[in-house]
C-alpha cells in the first residue's frame, strides 16, 4: 500500500478523539465517526481546545495548529469512510459490538484499507474473523491520552500479514510513537501486567488493608509510579478495567484474574471514574489535581 493519506477513526470518546488529534497533527486527513452526535461535538471541542493550548504554549506553530484543524472532519455517517486508507476502531470494549462494527467496515472500506482496533485486550484474531480480510486486520493499541503517551502496542492476529504490520508500524512511527509488538493473547503486554496490579489494589481496599489514599501513595512513593493504581483506574474508566479483567479471566483461564467484587460493584453502581465524576474517588466536589503521565 502507498502512504496512508486518510484515516477513519471510529468512536469519539477519550481514545478516538485523542487518536484523531494525533493523526491530524502529523499531516493525515482524518474522519472521526461516532454514533452519538453529542460525543462528536464534545470530541470536536476538546480537540480544538487541546490544539489551541499547544499553540498558545508554542509547542505547536500557529500554522501547524491551523493545518491540523483543517484536516479533521466529524461525521455520524460511517459511509464517509469509503475513501480511508486506514481505519482505527476505538469504540466500547465489547467483542460483540466490535465484531458487528468490523462487519460493516469490511463492506464500506476500500479493498486495500487496513482495519485496526485500539482494543485493550480483546482477541484481534477473533475480531478479524468477522471480516473477509483477516490479513488486513491488526491491533493498534494507543495509550491514554494518545497525544501525550509515546507508546503504541501493535498486536498481530493469527492471519495479520507482514505488509499490514509494516504499514501499521510505519504509520505509528510517523505519528511520533515508539512501537512494541505483542502476540495475540488476552491483554497483550501492557494490560496483562497492569490490570492485575489495579485489580489487586481493589482487593487491598476491599479487604480493608489500607485506605485508598495510602494504597495510591504507597505505589507512587514506594515504587515510583506517577499515579497510584486506584487513581489510574479512575482515569482509565472502571468499566474499561472491569472489561479487561473479564477478558483476561476468560482468555487465560486462571482464577488469579477474577475481577475484585468491589470493582464489579462500583461499575454496577455507575461509579465509572473521572468520566462520571465519581469512581474510587469523587471528582465533582473536590477535583483532584493529579498530573498523570503514565497510563495504559
Ligand X SMILES: NC(=O)c1ccc[n+]([C@@H]2O[C@H](COP(=O)([O-])OP(=O)(O)OC[C@H]3O[C@@H](n4cnc5c(N)ncnc54)[C@H](O)[C@@H]3O)[C@@H](O)[C@H]2O)c1
Binding site members for CoA? 50, 57, 120
**How far apart, in whole angstroms, are the C-alpha atoms of residue 167 and residue 183?**
17
Contact 81, 105 (CB under 8 A): yes
Beta-carbon contacts of residue 84 (< 8 Å; ≥ 6 apart): 6, 7, 8, 31, 109, 110, 113
Active site residue 120: yes
Contact 33, 9 (CB under 8 A): yes
Residue tagged active-site, from 123, 191, 199, 243: 191
Active site residue 141: yes
* Nearer Cβ to ligand X (65/187): 187
CB 16, min distance to ligand X, A: 6
Q: Catalog residues that contact ligand X under the rule CB under 6 A.
A: 10-16, 33-36, 39, 90-93, 97, 101, 118-120, 141-142, 144, 236-237, 240, 295-296
Residue tagged active-site, from 118, 121, 141, 186: 141
Residue tagged active-site, from 117, 118, 120, 186: 120
Residue tagged active-site, from 118, 130, 134, 153: 153
CB 18, min distance to ligand X, A: 8
CB 13, min distance to ligand X, A: 2
* Nearer Cβ to ligand X (97/252): 97
- Give the torsion sign (CA, 258, 261, 265, 268): positive
CB 259, min distance to ligand X, A: 15
Specify the DSSP class assigned to residue 207: T
Give the Å distances, CA to CA, from 270 to 192, 263, 281.
25, 11, 13
Catalytic residue numbers read 120, 141, 153, 191
Amino acid at each position: 500500500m502507498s502512504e496512508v493519506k486518510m484515516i477513519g477513526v471510529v468512536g469519539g470518546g477519550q481514545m478516538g478523539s485523542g487518536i484523531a488529534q494525533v493523526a491530524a497533527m502529523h499531516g493525515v486527513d482524518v474522519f472521526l465517526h461516532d454514533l452519538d452526535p453529542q460525543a462528536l461535538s464534545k470530541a470536536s471541542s476538546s480537540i480544538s481546545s487541546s490544539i489551541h493550548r499547544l499553540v498558545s504554549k508554542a509547542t505547536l506553530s500557529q500554522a501547524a495548529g491551523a493545518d491540523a484543524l483543517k484536516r479533521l472532519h466529524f461525521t455520524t455517517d460511517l459511509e464517509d469512510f469509503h475513501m480511508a486508507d486506514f481505519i482505527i476502531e476505538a469504540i466500547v470494549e465489547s467483542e460483540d459490538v466490535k465484531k458487528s462494527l468490523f462487519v460493516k467496515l469490511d463492506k464500506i472500506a476500500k479493498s486495500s484499507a487496513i482495519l485496526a482496533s485500539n482494543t485493550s485486550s480483546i482477541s484481534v484474531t477473533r475480531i478479524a474473523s468477522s471480516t473477509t480480510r483477516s490479513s488486513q486486520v491488526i491491533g493498534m493499541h494507543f495509550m491514554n491520552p494518545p497525544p501525550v503517551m509515546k507508546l503504541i502496542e501493535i498486536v498481530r492476529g493469527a492471519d495479520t500479514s507482514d505488509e499490514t504490520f509494516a504499514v501499521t508500524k510505519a504509520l505509528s512511527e510517523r505519528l511520533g510513537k515508539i512501537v512494541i509488538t505483542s502476540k495475540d493473547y488476552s491483554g497483550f503486554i501492557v494490560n496483562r501486567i497492569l490490570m492485575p496490579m489495579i485489580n489487586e489494589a481493589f482487593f487491598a481496599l476491599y479487604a480493608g488493608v489500607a485506605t485508598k489514599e495510602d494504597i495510591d501513595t504507597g505505589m507512587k512513593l514506594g515504587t515510583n509510579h506517577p499515579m497510584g493504581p486506584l487513581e489510574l483506574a479512575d482515569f482509565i474508566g472502571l468499566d474499561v478495567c472491569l472489561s479487561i479483567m473479564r477478558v483476561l479471566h476468560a482468555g487465560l483461564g486462571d482464577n488469579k484474574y477474577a475481577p475484585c467484587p468491589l470493582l464489579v460493584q462500583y461499575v454496577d453502581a455507575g461509579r465509572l471514574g473521572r468520566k462520571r465524576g465519581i469512581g474510587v474517588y469523587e471528582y465533582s466536589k473536590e477535583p483532584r489535581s493529579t498530573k498523570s503521565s503514565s497510563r495504559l
